[in-house]
């Protein structure tokens, strides 16, 4: 990250050195002193979080004023602050948006909770819980809950914070529970997220009655299969029954999947590369909708999955870029979008891991940018909206190579070429610049 602000490196280093000295002094202390040190550092972390949220609040106010002065429509003024906060914190934009909301509510409606954070007795997570569970209250009732709960935050667990806040909220406004439930019901959803060791976690955010019913059905069928002699554990059976119920397949390996391989263009050469990948080699493959897979795992999946499709992603052997089409078209073709998703894997905004939803022209089409993969980046819906802000810009870095290699480059070399060509520099309204590179299929 680079920016136009005063270099704070010396101040940052001094702060780090002060903490290191503190740690060095505590390193030789007794166990009791070390416990005290851990507690002091936690208090300090809470104070730092409060100070950070104060800065977020001031940034939101300042950016809104600057946007309006620059002629940005009122509805869009300050709309990029969440994304800027996420970039500064090396967090996804959605985390930055939450910080902007949290900072605003603490400053305007929950002064006692904010004060507890500044004193080190309340954490940012506790503050988020107070904000979330008072969202359905009027401003006056919210202030009353803040006054009642804030003095206790230092002695409450997260669950106790939720119970205490709900107790006061429901007492002050008996209809609050109904409004809160209706609000939560509208936010029901299902999500999937990769976890280590080629696994993924599917989560369903459901009304309690439906969630209990889903679990009961899975548990009942799993226990019946176990009683009938199935040797799988109950956990394995519940997982396999879930896959079967949702996909209609009786066994998990029968679920259709698509494995993607990057190979050079040319039918014969490409087929040879695919055959080599299926039998040997270490280059990772990509499971569509998930991400990279180790080569042995991908080969095992191809062998074991009855409905597995294998897609070749073709590279130009001269430039090392994924094959594209007519650059004068405004819209990317369906095939190019598939290639873009396979290349970028997740949203290209730094630190954002949301799924790719939009194919964005790095150099806008209206400014002469071509409709090619070299001028494309995959973005999530939120980042694509941010990208269209008048004071937000992006540009590709590094010209594409056109030199024909003397010998066939290795798969890793081809992917490195692809990554260099797909480097994008984003500039925010404050002048800070961030670069991102495509991870490549491997």
- Same structural domain, 31 and 54: yes
The answer to whether 423 and 397 have CB atoms below 8 angstroms apart is: yes
Asked whether residue 103 falls in the same domain as residue 180, the answer is yes
Sign, CA dihedral 72-74-364-98, equals positive
The residues, ordered by sequence, that sit 6+ positions from 286 with a Cβ below 8 Å of its Cβ are 259, 260, 261, 292, 293, 342, 345, 441
Question: Residue 318 pLDDT more than 80?
Answer: no
The reply to whether 272 and 364 lie within a common domain is: yes
Assigned domain for 15 exists: yes
Q: What is the pLDDT of residues 383-421, one digit of tens each?
A: 999 999 999 999 988 644 434 444 444 444 444 344 344
Residue 40, in any domain of the structure: yes
CA distance 404 to 330: 29
Last residue of a domain, one of 132, 156, 186: 186
pLDDT digits (tens, 9 = 90+) for 49-68: 999 999 999 999 999 999 99
In a domain, 423, yes or no: yes
Q: 261 with 246, same domain?
A: no
Task: Judge whether 57 lies within some domain.
Answer: yes
Q: Is the pLDDT of residue 436 over 70?
A: yes
Domain end among 225, 253, 281: 253
**Cβ atoms of 266 and 272 closer than 8 Å:** no
Number of domain units in the chain: 3
Co-location of 161 and 276 in the same domain: no
CA distances 108 to 96, 118, 140, 143, 216, Å, are: 18, 15, 12, 10, 44
Both 247 and 260 in one domain: the answer is: no
Comparison of pLDDT for 422 and 176, the residue scoring more: 176
220 and 331 co-located in one domain: no
Co-location of 233 and 157 in the same domain: no
**pLDDT at res. 413:** 43
**Are 181 and 301 found together in one domain?**
no
Residues 249 and 292 in one domain: no
Q: Final residue of a domain: which of 218, 253, 288? A: 253
Spatial separation of the C-alpha atoms in residues 363 and 381, rounded to whole Å: 18
- Print the domain residue range for 149: 9-186
- Between 8 and 435, the higher pLDDT residue: 435
Q: Are residues 243 and 296 in the same domain?
A: no
Return phi, psi of residue 195, to 5°.
Answer: -130, 170
Judgement on whether residues 331 and 233 belong to the same structural domain of the protein: no
Long-range contacts of 405-409 (CB under 8 A, 24+ apart): 405/317, 405/318, 408/264, 408/317, 409/320
């Amino acid at each position: 990250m680079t920016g136009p602000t005063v270099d704070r490196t010396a101040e940052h280093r001094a702060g780090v050195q002060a903490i290191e000295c503190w740690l060095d002094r505590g390193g030789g202390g007794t166990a009791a002193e070390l416990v005290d040190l851990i507690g002091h550092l936690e208090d300090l972390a809470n104070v730092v979080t409060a100070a950070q949220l104060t800065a977020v609040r001031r940034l939101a106010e300042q950016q809104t004023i600057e946007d309006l002065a620059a002629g940005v429509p009122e509805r869009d003024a300050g709309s990029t602050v969440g994304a800027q906060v996420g970039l500064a914190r090396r967090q996804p934009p959605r985390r930055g948006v939450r910080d902007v909301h949290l900072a605003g509510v603490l400053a305007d409606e929950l002064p006692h909770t904010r004060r507890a954070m500044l004193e080190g007795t309340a954490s940012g997570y506790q503050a988020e819980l107070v904000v979330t569970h008072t969202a359905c209250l009027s401003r006056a009732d919210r202030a009353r809950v803040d006054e009642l709960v804030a003095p206790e935050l230092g002695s409450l667990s997260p669950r106790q914070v939720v119970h205490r806040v709900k107790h006061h909220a429901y007492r002050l406004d008996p209809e609050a529970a109904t409004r809160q439930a209706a609000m939560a019901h509208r936010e029901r959803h299902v999500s999937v997220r990769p976890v280590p060791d080629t696994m993924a976690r599917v989560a369903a955010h459901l009304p309690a009655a439906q969630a209990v019913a889903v679990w009961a059905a899975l548990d009942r069928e799993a226990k019946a299969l176990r009683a009938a002699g199935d040797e799988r554990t109950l956990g394995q059976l519940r997982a396999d029954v879930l896959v079967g119920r949702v996909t209609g397949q009786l066994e998990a390996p029968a679920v259709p999947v698509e494995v993607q391989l990057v190979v050079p263009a040319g039918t014969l050469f490409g087929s040879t590369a695919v055959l080599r990948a299926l039998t040997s080699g270490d280059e990772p493959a990509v499971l569509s909708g998930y991400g990279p897979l180790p080569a042995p795992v991908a080969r095992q999946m191809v062998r074991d999955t009855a409905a597995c499709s294998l897609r070749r992603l073709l590279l130009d052997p001269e430039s090392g870029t994924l094959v594209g089409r007519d650059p004068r078209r405004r819209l990317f073709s369906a095939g190019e979008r598939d290639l873009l998703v396979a290349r970028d894997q997740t949203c290209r905004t730094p630190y954002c891991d949301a799924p790719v939803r939009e194919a964005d022209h790095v150099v806008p089409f209206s400014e002469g940018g071509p409709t090619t993969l070299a001028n494309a980046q995959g973005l999530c819906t939120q980042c694509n909206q941010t990208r269209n802000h008048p004071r937000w810009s992006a540009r590709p870095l590094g010209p594409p190579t056109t030199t024909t290699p003397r010998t066939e480059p290795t798969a890793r070399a081809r992917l490195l070429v692809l990554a260099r060509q797909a480097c994008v520099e984003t500039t925010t309204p404050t002048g800070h610049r961030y670069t991102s590179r495509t991870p490549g299929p491997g």
